[in-house]
Amino acid sequence: MPAHWTEETALKGRGHRSLGRRWRRVSTRWVIGRGPSRDGTGAVIGRWDPAAAARNPRKVSASCMGRRRRRVDRGAAVGALPEAIAALSRTLPAGPSPEIFRRAKFDRPEAAPALWQLLFRVLSPLSANGASASPAQEAQVRVVKSELHSQGYPRRALAQLPEDGSQGSRELLLALAWLLARGPLLERLLAQTRVRLGDEIPLCECEALARPGPPVPRVEADGPVDIRHLQWLMGKLRFRWRKLITSQQEQCALLGKIHSYTRGCHSDRSLGHLSVAETELLRDAEGGQQLLRRLESENVRLEAALRWRRQELVFWRWMDTVLGTCPPEASQPTFVPWIPERGAGEWELVARELQALREELRGAAEPRRAAWEARVGGWGPEWSAVQRASREAVGLELAALQRAWEQGGAAAQPHGPCRLVKSDAGASEGPGLRAAQVIEVLRSREACLEAVLCQLQRQCRQELARLAGALPGLIWILPPGR
Partner 1 sequence: MLPADCSRRLVAELRDALDACAERQRQLERSLRVSRRLLRTWEPAETPAPQPTPAPETSGEAPSPESTPSSQDLKELELLTQALEKAVRVRKGISKTGERHKALSLKSGSAATSATTASAPSRPSGQASCRVSETKPPRGIQQTVVPARGLPECRLLSVGDRTRMGRGSRATKPGPGPRDQQIPPSAARQAPEAFTLKEKGILLRLPMAYRKAASRNSRLWAQLSSPQTSDSMDAAATAKTQFLQKMQMTSGGPGSGLSAAAVEAEVGLLRTACLLLRRRMEEVLSADPADCMQEYRCLLTLEGLQAITEQCLHRLQELRAAVVGQQLGPWPVGRRPGASLPCGGGTDPLWSPQLLLYSSTQELQTLEALRLRLAMLDQQIHLEKVLMAELLPLVGTQGPHWLALCRAVHSLLCEGGERFLTVLRDEPAD
Interaction residues for partner 1, span 308-347 (CB under 8 A) = 309-310, 312-313, 316-317, 319-320, 323, 326, 328-340, 342-343, 345-347
What count of other Cβ atoms lies within 10 Å of the Cβ of residue 319? 19
Q: Which of residues 443-462 bind partner 1 (CB under 8 A)?
A: 443, 445-446, 448-453, 455-457, 459-461
Contact indicator for 279, 262 with CB cutoff of 8 Å: yes
Please work out, in degrees rounded to the nearest 5, the angle formed at the alpha carbon of residue 203 by the alpha carbons of 249 and 432. Answer: 100
Q: Which of residues 384-403 bind partner 1 (CB under 8 A)?
A: 386-387, 390-391, 393-395, 397-398, 401-402
Which range of residues in 10-18, 33-41, 103-111, 291-299 is near partner 1 by CB under 8 A? 291-299
Q: Which of residues 349-378 bind partner 1 (CB under 8 A)?
A: 349-355, 357-358, 360-362, 364-365, 368-369, 372
What count of other Cβ atoms lies within 10 Å of the Cβ of residue 440? 11
Tell me how far apart the alpha carbons of residues 113 and 104 are, in angstroms, rounded to a whole number.
11
Q: Hey, is 2 helix, strand or coil?
A: coil
Q: Which is nearer to partner 1, 12 or 238 (CB)?
A: 238
Q: Which is nearer to partner 1, 133 or 467 (CB)?
A: 467
Q: Which is nearer to partner 1, 3 or 361 (CB)?
A: 361
Considering the rule CB under 8 A, would residue 18 count as an interface residue with partner 1? no
Q: Which of residues 44-63 bind partner 1 (CB under 8 A)?
A: none
Q: Which residue, 52, 32, 51, is CA-closest to 42?
A: 32
Q: Which of residues 179-198 bind partner 1 (CB under 8 A)?
A: 180-182, 184, 187, 190-191, 194-195, 197-198
Helix (H) or strand (E) holding 31: strand 30-33
Q: Hey, is 303 helix, strand or coil?
A: helix
Contact indicator for 237, 229 with CB cutoff of 8 Å: no
Q: Which of 14, 240, 269, 381 binds partner 1 (CB under 8 A)?
A: 240
Tell me the per-residue interface mask from 420 to 439 with partner 1, x by CB under 8 A, - otherwise. Answer: xxxxxx-x--xxxxxxx-xx
Tell me how far apart the alpha carbons of residues 410 and 387 are, in angstroms, rounded to a whole number.
34
Q: Which is nearer to partner 1, 65 or 365 (CB)?
A: 365
Q: Which of 27, 193, 231, 290 binds partner 1 (CB under 8 A)?
A: 231
Contacts of 470 (CB under 8 A, 6+ apart): none
Smallest separation (angstroms) from partner 1 to the CB of 385: 12
Smallest separation (angstroms) from partner 1 to the CB of 33: 17
Q: Which of 97, 143, 185, 321 binds partner 1 (CB under 8 A)?
A: 143
Tell me how far apart the alpha carbons of residues 305 and 90 are, in angstroms, rounded to a whole number.
8
Q: Which of 268, 377, 378, 382 binds partner 1 (CB under 8 A)?
A: 268
Residue 457: half-sphere exposure toward Cβ, Cα within 13 Å? 6
Q: Which of 51, 283, 380, 385 binds partner 1 (CB under 8 A)?
A: 283
Smallest separation (angstroms) from partner 1 to the CB of 109: 21
Q: Which is nearer to partner 1, 68 or 182 (CB)?
A: 182
Q: Which is nearer to partner 1, 72 or 191 (CB)?
A: 191
Q: In Å, how far are 171, 328, 373 from 106, measured between CA atoms?
A: 10, 15, 74
Q: Which is nearer to partner 1, 57 or 288 (CB)?
A: 288
Smallest separation (angstroms) from partner 1 to the CB of 378: 14
Residue 34: DSSP 8-state: -
Contact indicator for 112, 118 with CB cutoff of 8 Å: no
Contacts of 453 (CB under 8 A, 6+ apart): none
Q: Please give the radius of gyration of the chain, using alpha carbons only, rounded to the nearest integer.
A: 33
Q: Which of 56, 249, 290, 384 binds partner 1 (CB under 8 A)?
A: 249
Which range of residues in 9-17, 57-65, 105-113, 262-270 is near partner 1 by CB under 8 A? 262-270
Contact indicator for 305, 297 with CB cutoff of 8 Å: no
Tell me how far apart the alpha carbons of residues 61 and 53 are, in angstroms, rounded to a whole number.
9
Smallest separation (angstroms) from partner 1 to the CB of 369: 6
Q: Which is nearer to partner 1, 56 or 387 (CB)?
A: 387
Which range of residues in 32-40, 55-63, 93-101, 145-153 is near partner 1 by CB under 8 A? 145-153
Tell me how far apart the alpha carbons of residues 308 and 315 are, in angstroms, rounded to a whole number.
9
Q: Which is nearer to partner 1, 110 or 450 (CB)?
A: 450
Tell me how far apart the alpha carbons of residues 33 and 47 are, in angstroms, rounded to a whole number.
10
Q: Which is nearer to partner 1, 136 or 323 (CB)?
A: 323
Q: In Å, how far are 27, 138, 201, 305, 363 from 162, measured between CA atoms?
A: 30, 9, 43, 32, 57
Considering the rule CB under 8 A, would residue 236 count as an interface residue with partner 1? yes
Tell me how far apart the alpha carbons of residues 442 and 253 are, in angstroms, rounded to a whole number.
20
Binding residues for partner 1, rule CB under 8 A, total 229
Smallest separation (angstroms) from partner 1 to the CB of 273: 9
Considering the rule CB under 8 A, would residue 285 count as an interface residue with partner 1? yes
Contacts of 237 (CB under 8 A, 6+ apart): none
Considering the rule CB under 8 A, would residue 101 count as an interface residue with partner 1? no
